[in-house]
Amino acid sequence: MKRWLWLSALVFVTAHVGSPDTFFEGAAGPYPIRVIVRTPGIVPGLADITVRITGRTFPHTITVLPLRGGLPTAALPPADTASRIDGDSSLFSAQLWLMSPGAYSVQVTAIGPAGTGTAIVPVMSVATRRLGMDRPVAIGLLAMGVFLFIGALTIVAAAVREGALPPGVEADAARRRRAWLVTAIAVPVLGLGVYGGKAWWDGEDTAFVRGMYRPMPATATVRADGGRSVLRFAIGDSVTRSRIWSPLIPDHGKLVHLFLVDTAGRGFAHLHPRPVDSTTFDAPLPPLPAGRYRVYADIVHESGFAQTLRDSLTIAEGSPAWTPGDPDDAWMSRLGTRDSGSAVRLADGSRLTWARDGNGALVANQEMELRFTVTGADGEPRALEPYMGMASHAVIARDDGAVFIHLHPTGTIAVASQQVFLLREPGDTVRGRLGARITQAQSRSTEHGADHSVPGSFAFPYAFPQPGHYRIWVQVRRGGRVLTGEFAADVN
């Protein structure tokens, strides 16, 4: 038997690969918080939400409210009140129904002695897998079906045999023969009903499988152009675009964040290709080591929906003399040992250190902070320049490609998705109108923060979703240069 259920990956997905949970680090007014949304796996389904107060002032009430597509123009429905976790006064928990696939936002409101504050956490709700029915449940339902089938035949036989007789009168032989005849006719009739029910069930299951979320198809290719290698990234095909395409909006000022991860663990690149048209993008290819690369591309649609597209690519050799197509492009080559320890030296001579808790053991699905510090020769933290509006960007990938995530100190959320939910207005039904306003807001934010330094110590909230061997690339900006440090991690 089959169980048809809409499934989801928040961030969702997921907007990421193999890492469906959403992490948000920020503030609800005067209260610093960390929000984790663990997706239900089914849509409609219940998402588990935890809100941790990371500051010293604790609110007495936390409420959560799912908003389909962001802030509505009508009155808000009542929010659910989160429960405080026994033994941990800083932790609250709640469950929310996600009723349909698409882009959601979760409105988290904190009420306490310092006042009231609200945070918006974008969540992607999509169908990603199909659940089978548990064997004990299937056996129980089958037994019940057989019981009901036999019971229906018994009722038919009794109705023909005794339905018109007065109480206490025995049916004669003719009535008993007629009852057997009608019962025999009822068997195929009821069987057709059962078959029709199974056909309907299978049809629903097939429709569900067809409607499951799959990232849009994407193609990465390399071509020679005037003595240099150019990477072209094309999104979708004509059929896919005509059905589900919506305009892209910039996230951290870029329409596409493109990552190349060498399957042999030797090369890595974070590029921001320039648009050729609305679905095709080009970037000069760095001189990466030859090999097979996994290609990941983070994009955000004007609807607020964020997704990670995937492809693979064989690189014979990159451009010997590489000129970045974007000032925020960066790459690194690691031809030596695969084990990096807890500290690496960056290209400018500074040192990037991963401060691991306790014995440094990492456990799957355990909430944690990945804390890093950039220090100089004297061991003191060094100030950083904002890198696309953040203190740092990080990429985490499992060696087999089953997990890929693009992280910021604000968590796994796409900032552009959050801006969609914060800036949407009733008149934003015209395509491109909201995207233009978000582009302007990001430009102003980048210009305002360009002259400000950020601390050399930073952290990423995360939980590794699966055991395995991972690589972590941490990127910062100093002296106008994008610097990349690489770490290895074994997760139990």
The model's confidence at residue 7, banded by pLDDT at 50, 70 and 90, is very low
Sign of the Cα torsion 95, 99, 105, 109 reads: negative
Domain spanning 22-125, CATH architecture: Sandwich (2.60)
The model's confidence at residue 13, banded by pLDDT at 50, 70 and 90, is very low
Residue among 22, 18, 26, 24 nearest 10 (CA): 22
Please give the C-alpha separations between residue 18 and each of 129, 260, 290, in angstroms, as whole numbers: 12, 17, 26
What is the per-residue pLDDT for 240? 57
**317 DSSP β-pair partners:** none
The model's confidence at residue 69, banded by pLDDT at 50, 70 and 90, is low
- Per-residue pLDDT of 417-474, as tens digits, reads 998 888 887 777 777 778 888 888 877 766 655 567 888 999 999 999 999 999 999 9
What is the per-residue pLDDT for 237? 66
- Per-residue pLDDT of 221-246, as tens digits, reads 998 887 788 999 999 765 555 555 67
What is the per-residue pLDDT for 424? 81
**390 DSSP β-pair partners:** 387
For the chain, domain boundaries: 22-125, 135-164+171-211, 218-491
Q: Is the pLDDT of residue 337 over 70?
A: no
Average pLDDT estimate for 363-383: 91
* Helix/strand/coil for 147: helix
Q: Is the pLDDT of residue 485 over 90?
A: yes
Please give the C-alpha separations between residue 32 and each of 52, 108, 114, in angstroms, as whole numbers: 9, 12, 12
CA dihedral of 256, 19, 402, 135, whole degrees rounded to 10: -140
Stretch (H or E) spanning 478: strand 468-478
**262 DSSP β-pair partners:** 293
Three-state SS for 200-241 is HHHHHHHHHHHHCCCCCCEEEEEEEECCEEEEEEEECCHHHH
DSSP state of 251: B
Q: Give one word for 200, left, alpha or beta, with left for phi > 0 and alpha for psi -120 to 50.
A: alpha
Three-state SS for 341-389 is CCEEECCCCCEEEEECCCCCCECCCCCEEEEEEEECCCCCECCEECECC
CA distance 428 to 440: 15
Rg of the chain over Cα atoms, rounded to whole angstroms, equals 29
- Per-residue pLDDT of 142-175, as tens digits, reads 999 999 999 999 999 999 888 888 888 888 888 8
Mean pLDDT of the chain: 85
User: Buried b / exposed e across 375-409, counting CB within 10 Å, b at 16+?
Assistant: beeeeeebebbbbbbbbbbbbbbbbeeebbbbbbb
- Global pTM value: 0.82
* Helix/strand/coil for 183: helix
CA distance 381 to 151: 78
CA distance 270 to 76: 40
